[in-house]
Amino acid sequence: MSQELTQNVSAFGYELIRDHILSSILGKNEEDILYWAGKELARKFPATTLEEVLQFFADASWGTLTLDKQSKDEAFFTLSGAEDLLHITHRCFRLEAGFLAEQHQNMSGLLTECLDDKHERKNSVTFHVKWDLKDPIER
C-alpha cells in the first residue's frame, strides 16, 4: 500500500460516519443497504484466500475475524475486538456479513448468504456463512 493509504483514520472519524451519519441517512433500511454495500465492497476488493479476507478485516479496523468451524456447506466466524472498536451495543454488522458472503461466493462459485449474531456480553459477533452446493453462480 502507498504511504497515503496507510495513514490511519481516527476512530472518532470512523465512528461518526459508520454509527451516526450512515444510520441517519439509511434509516429503517440500514441493515439491508449495508449488507448489499458489503457485497459491493467485496467486489471492489476481491480476495482469493481466506487469509486475505481475515487480513482485510484487520486492515479495515473492523476487528479480528477468526474461523471457528467449517463444514461442506457452512462456516462460522467470530469477530472480536476492543469494545471501543466494535461498538457492539449500537452497531449493526450487516456490512461485514455482506462482505463475507460475497467473498465466499466469489471464491467458491456457489450462492452464499451470511447472518450475523451479536453477543454483547462477550463483545463479539458470530457470522454464519451458508452456501448452497447445488446452486452455482454464473460467471
* pLDDT, tens digit, 9 for 90 and up, residues 79-118: 999 998 899 998 999 999 999 999 999 999 999 999 999 9
DSSP strand E in the chain: where?
64-70, 74-80, 110-119, 124-136
* pLDDT, tens digit, 9 for 90 and up, residues 52-71: 999 999 999 899 999 999 99
Strand order in the sheet with 124-136: 64-70, 74-80, 124-136, 110-119
What pLDDT is attached to residue 2? 44
**C-beta separation of 103 from 39 below 8 A:** no
Decide: residue 10, CB within 10 A, 0-12 exposed, 13-18 middle, 19+ buried: exposed
Strand partners, 125: 79, 118
**C-beta separation of 91 from 84 below 8 A:** no
Query: DSSP per residue over 57-77, as a string?
Result: HHHTTS-EEEEEEE-SSEEEE
Cell numbers placing 1: 500500500
